[in-house]
Chain A
């Protein structure tokens, strides 16, 4: 139904601050694209440029192949869900949802049927006569969604819509948003700083940093092959363990002198990383086989239930290792952390992925 194409989009503020430094993203029809990054990375600015709430300094934004740079938000036929919901406080839920349709001159009976059917989908039917202040956070969130859905727009834009909800509700709404987006088949762009939300929702994951796209792709691809140390440490919780390498006589080794097995193309790497779940711990005295065998001192144990995280001092820095179930290690234990060669990620001096 609609695609969103960004070509070399830049945003320079009058003060000279460059918020977005040339971003190109193509969102295919019916896909959900998540922009994720730390605060100040330009993701919200980018979303607002797609919405038409922010002018585009250079580059083009196209919806459905048509460049919309100079078109206002109304004519772009988009709907947006805001972080603070931005419900009209003096209007009832019904009027909040109907407002956009009324402004477009939709006939009254059609507005009524659309509002009521949308309310049914979102389980808001009994709340239509309430005002926003009489609703809970989750219900307000639903109304904000309903206001977007009822318009039947070409593109949905979400600006951190779940960040004001508590953890449990957030998990619930995450699934709901995903299902709704699937069933409605509306192309969507979703901004969040929560990597878990990004991973679970995205068809296309775009990791942004300092106004630029660090990596773009299917969430699991990004997870398995992070393109840079930034992505490696941003995506995944707890983050990937990154260890600095120094050039030894025969090739790279860890800062504290621990040897590491490497392939020829990895000889110039400056950082090596592995995910907390990709390493094993062992108390065995004989040296286990693995590309990286790291003597480690347990500094803290975090039991989560199904798994435990061991915070260890190893290789000259602090690392986190995940073990299934209860941890047998306790604080002060000496053990060895073992990672297989295929589970290691290598990055060069600029932080880019090697090999």
Chain B
């Protein structure tokens, strides 16, 4: 970008600003709608500035309980979704880092068979195996439990492959130096591999947390009780086809609240993995 003429800089900025507007405006408009009364929302056009119902709407949604979804508060929904998203993200990272560790650093019979077994599960996304998985969950009595929400989604070929690729870039000399220094497999894992994987873990956590947060089909199947709903499902259920039935102001509040945790995760973890990028070097 050196020696750019001012008109090109102007153009670049114009495109960027336009892009931001396209992305940000719907979110802003949702926020505006979440601060109006239901009557204002139902009577177009919707004002472009926030209304005066912020506290009323938000406290009603968070603590009051919303009729259409069985009187469960948005707070409860947020808790459910957070537990599920965290469980999926942490579980996926835990399992995939361990399996990648085994596949890259250990020589055992059928190693490549296991690797390919993990690899081909990429061809079996949740949707393809959803009925058998559901049956298994029913038989195990895991319907309407956090375990039922989390465990079927926890295996991750993608994350395993990602860690495998990263581990394979770790020089053999480093592994040998650790062996000479008396580090056994666990020590090597915790003292050397884990700290070196910080950046990868942070990046994966962000991706997987959002993946877990936005799950729709599986939570829809595996939860029957309103108390165990996730926020994405509740949001869908709050919208009825008959406009008059829908409490749009609360829908807007819920939508706003639903995007806060993913944004928080991105913002917080971004600082983390930028630091990781600056700090680490192989």
Contact = CB atoms under 8 A, between A and B. Distances in A.
The finding on whether chains A and B are genuine partners in a shared complex, rather than unrelated, reads yes
Interface of A: 48, 51-53, 72-74, 78-80, 82-90, 99-100, 103-104, 131-133, 147, 151
Interface stretch (B68-76, B130-138, B191-199, B254-262): B191-199
Contacts of A52: 179
Given A79-B180, A80-B176, A86-B176, A103 B187 contact: yes
What 8 A-B pairs have minimum CB-CB distances, sorted nearest first? A100-B181, A103-B182, A86-B173, A86-B177, A74-B182, A133-B281, A82-B173, A90-B195
A104 B180 CA distance: 11
Contact of A89 (B178, B182, B281): B281
B180 A78 contact: yes
Nearest to A157: B180
21 contacts: A53-B176, A72-B179, A73-B176, A74-B181, A74-B182, A78-B180, A80-B176, A82-B173, A82-B176, A85-B173, A88-B178, A89-B281, A89-B282, A90-B195, A99-B183, A99-B191, A103-B182, A103-B183, A132-B281, A147-B177, A151-B181
Interface string B165-180: 0000001011011111
A74 B280 contact: no
Nearest to A134: B281
Contacts of B176: 48, 51, 53, 73, 80, 82, 86
B60 to A, nearest CB: 49
Given A83-B173, A90-B195, A73 B281 contact: no
Nearest to B176: A53
B276 to A, nearest CB: 10
A74 B173 contact: no
Contacts of A100: 180-182
A82 B175 CA distance: 11
B139 interface: no
Interface string B220-261: 000000000000000000000000000000000000000000
A74 B180 contact: yes
Contacts of B182: 74, 100, 103-104
Nearest to A159: B173
B127 interface: no
A178 B122 CA distance: 56
A162 B191 CA distance: 27
B173 A84 contact: yes
Contacts of B279: 90, 131
A30 B281 CA distance: 37
Nearest to B195: A90
Interface residues of B, number: 20
B132 to A, nearest CB: 41
Nearest to A144: B177
Contact of B171 (A51, A53, A86): A86
A95 to B, nearest CB: 9
Interface of B: 171, 173-174, 176-183, 187, 191-192, 195-196, 279-282
Contacts of B187: 103
A289 to B, nearest CB: 57
A163 B191 CA distance: 28
Contacts of B282: 89
Contacts of A104: 182
A82 B177 contact: yes
A87 B176 CA distance: 11
A170 B176 CA distance: 24
Contacts of A99: 181, 183, 191
Contacts of B192: 88, 90
Contacts of A131: 279
Nearest to B183: A103
Contacts of A133: 281
Nearest to B177: A86
Nearest to A72: B179
A298 to B, nearest CB: 46
A99 B191 CA distance: 9
B270 to A, nearest CB: 20
Contacts of B173: 82-86
Contacts of B178: 88
A132 B280 CA distance: 10
Contacts of B177: 80, 82, 86-88, 147
A213 B57 CA distance: 86
Nearest to A53: B176
B170 to A, nearest CB: 10
Contacts of A48: 176
B183 A51 contact: no
Contacts of A85: 173
Nearest to A148: B180
Given A82-B173, A99-B191, A90 B180 contact: no
A51 B180 contact: yes
A345 B195 CA distance: 58
A80 B176 CA distance: 9
B179 A73 contact: yes
A90 B280 contact: yes
Given A73-B176, A88-B178, A99-B191, 7 more contacts: A53-B176, A84-B171, A84-B173, A90-B192, A104-B182, A132-B281, A147-B177
A104 B281 CA distance: 27
Most buried by A among B171, B182, B192, B195: B182
A86 B188 CA distance: 14
